[in-house]
Amino acid sequence: MSIDSVQGAPLRRRGRWGPMLLRRAGQILALALMVGTLSFAMARSLPGDMATRIAAGRYGYDLVSQAAADQVRDELALDRAWPLALLDWWRQTASLDLGVSLVSGEPVWHELSSHLGATLTLTGAALGMGLMVGLPLGVMSARRPGGLLDRLLTAATLLVRSTPPFLIAVLLMMAMAVHLGMLPVAGAHQRGGWLLPSLTLALPLAAGIARVTAQALRSAMAMPSHQFARTKGLSDRQALLRHAARHAGLPLLAYVGVQAVVLAEGAVVVESLFAWPGIGHALVHAVFGRDVPMIQGAALCMGVLFIVFNLCVDSLQLMLDPRRTDGEAR
């Protein structure tokens, strides 16, 4: 790293935000088009009669008869040719209208907004817990490579990361709720009901964060700049906080960015299991009931969440790292 590049950075940095924001906005548009079209195509190509399936979603399949299915088909114009239906959906989406749920008859946007809040609470809490547990563990293990904590952490990470969220959730329920009776098994309305689901998501996250932090810190501390900081008289702690932490922050940020996918994917399982009224839960139900507008809305929401999350990560990286140039930030 030369002194030139560090000094030249502030000049170029101002020009770096615009393209990045534009790129992300473009991504959101492309995503909306893709997700909408894909989920539309998938829902249409699923086997079985769509009208019967929707009627079953509405009235329970005991009440479903030919008459009910026909009524649903007429009401929703399901026998309309698919290109027309698709065009209609594109037009609606362009005017920011996600349509009306085929099952409940409520506007999709209205349903999603409450689900979105629940999912954000869950992922936010999971991320917070993951960082709270993972960061200190990672720092501690980086300071003694090969020590007891480091080895324990490696083993624990392996265990937690290789256990599916489903099993973690059931084990947590049994341990915390059934045996200790400390927390409710399920239910968003219960006091502390958010703890077990967010813990289920947070445990693998914390394990990963701890490992990545340890590794990143170790390589940061092996850098000549860190050696120089120590040589010029900074204490271990000072050198860590002032120099190594910033270096280590970059791979950690990138890792957390990637974990957004895992959180979204895990939320589908965890929300269903904990009866948590979030987007993942809504998506599973929508698929089950062939509720095309809800599938499109929920998938779109998850996609946009992912992009927005990455946008935050990119922005943080830009702020943390003055070295990068426009070309490299891609």
Q: Which of residues 281-300 bind another protein (CB under 8 A)?
A: 281, 284-285, 287-288
Per rule CB under 8 A, is residue 146 in the interface with another protein? no
Residue 83 CB, nearest distance to another protein (Å)? Answer: 23
Residue 141 CB, nearest distance to another protein (Å)? Answer: 15
Cβ proximity to another protein: between 145 and 187 the closer is: 187
- Tell which residue, 250, 244, 154, 168, has the closest CA to residue 208: 154
Residue 82 CB, nearest distance to another protein (Å)? Answer: 18
Cα angle 257-262-268, degrees, rounded to a multiple of 5: 135
Per rule CB under 8 A, is residue 124 in the interface with another protein? no
Contact pick of 43, 206, 221, 294 for another protein (by CB under 8 A): 206
Q: Residue 160, exposed/middle/buried by CB under 10 A (0-12, 13-18, 19+)?
A: middle
Per rule CB under 8 A, is residue 139 in the interface with another protein? no
Helices (H), 222-244: 224-231, 236-239
Stretch that binds another protein, among 8-16, 270-278, 294-302, 315-323 (CB under 8 A): 270-278
Contact pick of 12, 21, 187, 238 for another protein (by CB under 8 A): 187
Residue 164 CB, nearest distance to another protein (Å)? Answer: 6
Residue that has been written with the tokens 């929920």 in this structure: 298
Per rule CB under 8 A, is residue 256 in the interface with another protein? no
Which residue type, as a one-letter code, is found at position 299?
A
Q: Check if the beta carbon of residue 164 is closer than 8 Å to that of residue 172.
A: no
Per rule CB under 8 A, is residue 104 in the interface with another protein? yes
Cβ of 125: how many Cβ atoms within 10 Å? 17
Residue 329 CB, nearest distance to another protein (Å)? Answer: 31
Per rule CB under 8 A, is residue 315 in the interface with another protein? no
Q: Check if the beta carbon of residue 230 is closer than 8 Å to that of residue 243.
A: no
Per rule CB under 8 A, is residue 258 in the interface with another protein? no
The interface mask with another protein, positions 56-75, x = CB under 8 A, is xxxx-xxxxxxxxx-x----
Q: Check if the beta carbon of residue 103 is closer than 8 Å to that of residue 177.
A: no
Per rule CB under 8 A, is residue 268 in the interface with another protein? yes
Cβ proximity to another protein: between 129 and 311 the closer is: 129
Cβ of 269: how many Cβ atoms within 10 Å? 19
CA–CA distance, 236 with 229 (Å, rounded to integer): 9
- Tell which residue, 94, 107, 52, has the closest CA to residue 86: 94
Contact pick of 170, 222, 241, 258 for another protein (by CB under 8 A): 170
